Amino acid sequence: MSANDYDLLVIGGGIHGAGVAQAAAADGQRTLLLEARKPAAGTSSRSSKLIHGGLRYLESLHLGLVAESLREREILLEIAPHLVRLVNFHIPVYKETSRRPWQLQVGLGLYAALGRFRPSTRFERLPADDWENLDGIKTDGLEAVFRYSDGQTDDARLVRSVLSSAEELGCEVRYPAELLSAVRERDGWLIRYRCEEELIELRTQTLVNAAGPWVEHVRRRVSPIPEGRAVDLVAGAHLELKGTLERGIYYTEAPRDHRAVFCMPWKDRILLGTTERTHRAEPGQVTATPEEQDYLLETYAHYFSDTPEVLDSWAGLRVLPRAEGEAFHRSRETLLFRDDAQLPRYIGIYGGKLTGYRATAERVLRALSPVLPVRPLLADTATLKLPDVD
């Protein structure tokens, strides 16, 4: 019997932390998750709330990412039908749109192929007679409209559901509980964390840093400091507008810089997003700026003739590998960094997608398997139904 209190400690109660905690508990590991604020307090409640293959990643030839995301989308539709549903997506193509109808036809065909031509990957080009029924999108200069389907969810609720599943499998979850330090010992880590006003110590065999935009903060609290990655935190803003969209989601192109902007029905409102802006302040201090509001409203006005009232605005942070050039074209693949190639006891999760959380968690567990004990399996997260929370 190990002297450690836990086999695996997860830092962060966003979708990645919840996913790793669930996978570890399903694997029979004694698991604890610490969250500094409350579950889904970070990026995982500020996403575009799409469970999608990422059609636009085809252009950068990230075919593996698209195929994995489409596979995960299928699994989530099966294990969480109360949380993930297919929605119609419309791509209007105007004379000035940068992608031509034939390019979209080819892209959607490839998307369907990567999704193994399942019924959920079907797409169509809508006849012109139907354009009038598309929530009032402007038809001047409209050349084509494509319709396909992708998933929509409630991101924060998905996190709570995965976390609840982890707890049902025996994982302990504590919040507000902030990791202060992790010091390497012979066969694991000595952990110090603060829970309310109390300072607590424990021992764990392995440590997973799933702190999202705080990943580098947490890495620097680990001693010796493990290898990491220079990252840019890239803010993405959303606006909530008064009104509804009856026909589904509109996948538009911002007139200013041709980036993708989604107009989505969301809880009796319209959700509009997103932007990309390098964020240099503390991760906790991210909001939608007036410039971002203008950019999003200008995009909306380009496609729709009404001018809805802005009811709310918020922003989240992407963790992207530091590089020159626009964030929009940088890889969205999840990177794992470990303290040791053969016998890792620390893994840091960088970047990633809500959609791929389960696959990422499986990768983390596989990477740690050389040091984790073999325990009786409790469940398979690919088939285990997620509980209905809230």
Ligand X SMILES: Cc1cc2nc3c(=O)[nH]c(=O)nc-3n(C[C@H](O)[C@H](O)[C@H](O)COP(=O)(O)OP(=O)(O)OC[C@H]3O[C@@H](n4cnc5c(N)ncnc54)[C@H](O)[C@@H]3O)c2cc1C
Shortest Å distance, C-beta 99 to ligand X = 20
Q: Within positions 11 to 30, which residues make up the interface with ligand X, using CB under 6 A? A: 11-17
Beta carbon nearer to ligand X, 24 or 41: 41
Among 9, 353, 361, 368, binds ligand X (CB under 6 A): 353
Strand 310-321 to 249-253 pairing: unpaired
Angle made by CA atoms 183, 333, 380, in degrees to the nearest 5: 75
Query: How is 89-142 classified by DSSP, letter by letter?
Result: EEEEEETT-SS-HHHHHHHHHHHHHHTTT-GGG--EEPPGGGGGGSTTB--TTE
Q: Which of 80, 162, 270, 317 binds ligand X (CB under 6 A)?
A: 317
Residues in 101-120 that interact with ligand X by CB under 6 A: none
Identify which of residues 42 and 248 has a Cβ nearer to ligand X in the complex: 42
Q: Whole-angstrom Cα distance, residue 369 to residue 247? A: 46
Pairing of the two strands 31-34 and 172-174? parallel
Distance of closest approach, residue 351 Cβ to ligand X, in angstroms: 7
CB atoms within 10 A of CB 149: 19
Q: Whats the size of the chain, residue-wise? A: 390
CB of 143 to ligand X, least distance (A): 27
Which of 37, 122, 366, 385 binds ligand X (CB under 6 A)? It is: 37
Scanning 59-67, 81-89, 116-124, 346-354 for contacts with ligand X by CB under 6 A, the matching segment is 346-354
Least gap, CB of 178 to ligand X (angstroms): 4
> Residue 128 Cβ, how far from ligand X at the closest point, in Å?
30
What distance, in Å, lies between the first and last C-alpha atoms of the chain?
38
Tokens 């209007």: give the residue. 92
Q: In the complex with ligand X, which residue's Cβ is closer, 11 or 261?
A: 11
The answer to whether the peptide bond before residue 127 is cis (omega within 30 degrees of 0) is no
Of all helices (H) and strands (E), which one includes residue 297? Answer: helix 290-303
Least gap, CB of 265 to ligand X (angstroms): 14
Q: Tell me the CA distances in angstroms from 100 to 58, 116, 145, 260, 298, one per residue in order.
A: 15, 24, 11, 15, 22
Q: Which of residues 163-222 bind ligand X (CB under 6 A)?
A: 178-179, 210-214, 218
Please say which residue, 29 or 45, places its beta carbon nearer to ligand X: 45
Question: What residues between 296 and 315 interact with ligand X by CB under 6 A?
Answer: none
Instruction: Give, as ranges, the residues between 245 and 274 that touch ligand X (CB under 6 A).
Output: 274
Stretch that binds ligand X, among 8-16, 80-88, 121-129, 246-254 (CB under 6 A): 8-16
Here's the x/- map for ligand X, 42-81, by CB under 6 A: it reads as xxx--xxxx-------------------------------
Binding residue for ligand X (CB under 6 A) from 241, 354, 359, 364? 354
Find the part of the chain contacting ligand X (CB under 6 A) among 22-30, 134-142, 347-355, 380-388.
Answer: 347-355
CA neighbor of 244 nearest in space, from 217, 225, 219, 263: 263
Angle between helices 63-79 and 357-368 (to 10 degrees): 100
Residues 139, 209: Cα–Cα separation, whole Å:
49
Residue 152 touches ligand X, criterion: CB under 6 A:
no
At 376, list the tokens.
Answer: 């009786």
Q: How many residues make contact with ligand X (CB under 6 A)?
A: 37
Residue 30 CB contacts under 8 Å (≥ 6 apart), including other chains: 5, 6, 7, 8, 170
- The footprint of ligand X (CB under 6 A) covers 11-17, 34-37, 41-44, 47-50, 178-179, 210-214, 218, 236, 274, 316-318, 349, 352-355
